[in-house]
Amino acid sequence: MSSAEAFARFPGCALVLSVPFLLVNLLDGFTKPALAQTPLLFWIYDVTKWVLLPAATVFAMRMWCGASLSSFGLRGPDVRWLSALSVLYTVLAMSYFAFRALALQVIPEEPSFDLAELLPGGWARLPVVLYLCATAAFVEEFFYRGVMLEALAPAGSGPGRSSAYVLASSILFGLSHFENGSVEIFATGLFGVVAAVFALRIRNLWPLIAGHFATDFLAFQ
């Protein structure tokens, strides 16, 4: 067996290949405030992180792990079923705002970075907001609720592995937002718990992507 074949059989093959993105996302608290001083560099970094790096990672997963997008929940058995679940999850996703309101009661808000300050004005604002919402929803759900689910709690796993997945994915997801302060870590971490439990139940990412997109879009308003 070649080294490539052995790697493909490793249960965490896709998770290992996801490490670069997960690390870059965790370091945003240092990277974004520094790059915000030079908007052009910031947007080059943003496209690299949210488009180029994920695309390269998915390509590597296909080549070295034999995995496709459908392997991680990007599949749809029935349009009506997905539409109903998308509406339901969008309602659940609104819990993020409740978690944030709760956190504001007990945690001082201390963001080190405000993305809204870098958004263009006028007609260009809406396309940029749609880009930000779509890339964050698709990419974060793919890595945190797709790849991590299949690596840590594949179908048929017991409650121990499922609990480990919910805990690990929600903690990493919350910490990846620390550039926005402690309130955001708390709110997105709890949002991550809701999303992870939902992913365990349906093992399909499209409703989660819909809810994530809706939450982010409302947050920009």
pLDDT in tens, 178-203: 888 888 999 999 999 999 998 998 88
The answer to whether the beta carbons of residues 137 and 213 sit under 8 Å apart is: yes
- Calculate mean pLDDT across residues 53-82: 85
* pLDDT at residue 2, as a whole number: 46
* pLDDT at residue 108, as a whole number: 76
Q: For the chain, give every domain's residue range.
A: 3-220
Q: Is the pLDDT of residue 8 over 60?
A: no
Specify the residue for token string 């970094």: 45
Q: What are the pLDDT digits (tens) for 155-169?
A: 888 899 999 999 999
* pLDDT at residue 182, as a whole number: 87
More confident residue, 68 or 76: 68
Q: Euclidean distance between the first and final Cα of the chain, in Å?
A: 54
The answer to whether the beta carbons of residues 186 and 99 sit under 8 Å apart is: yes
What does the mean pLDDT of the chain come to?
87
Q: What are the pLDDT digits (tens) for 96-146?
A: 999 989 888 888 777 667 888 889 889 999 999 999 999 999 999 999 999
Phi, psi for residue 53 in degrees, rounded to 5:
-65, -45
Q: Is the pLDDT of residue 95 over 90?
A: no
More confident residue, 146 or 75: 146
Tell me the angle at which helices 53-60 and 13-26 cross, rounded to the nearest 10 degrees.
170
Among the listed residues 7, 12, 28, the one whose alpha carbon sits nearest the alpha carbon of residue 154: 12
pTM of the model: 0.90
Q: What are the pLDDT digits (tens) for 32-43?
A: 988 988 999 999
User: How many other CB atoms are there within 10 angstroms of residue 166's CB atom?
Assistant: 22
Distance set, CA 19 to CA 14, 53, 144, 187, 200 (Å): 9, 11, 11, 23, 22
Among the listed residues 52, 220, 27, 31, the one whose alpha carbon sits nearest the alpha carbon of residue 120: 220
CA–CA distance, 172 with 168 (Å, rounded to integer): 6
* pLDDT at residue 9, as a whole number: 55
Provide CB contacts within 8 A for 104, sequence distance 6+: 183
The answer to whether the beta carbons of residues 85 and 202 sit under 8 Å apart is: yes
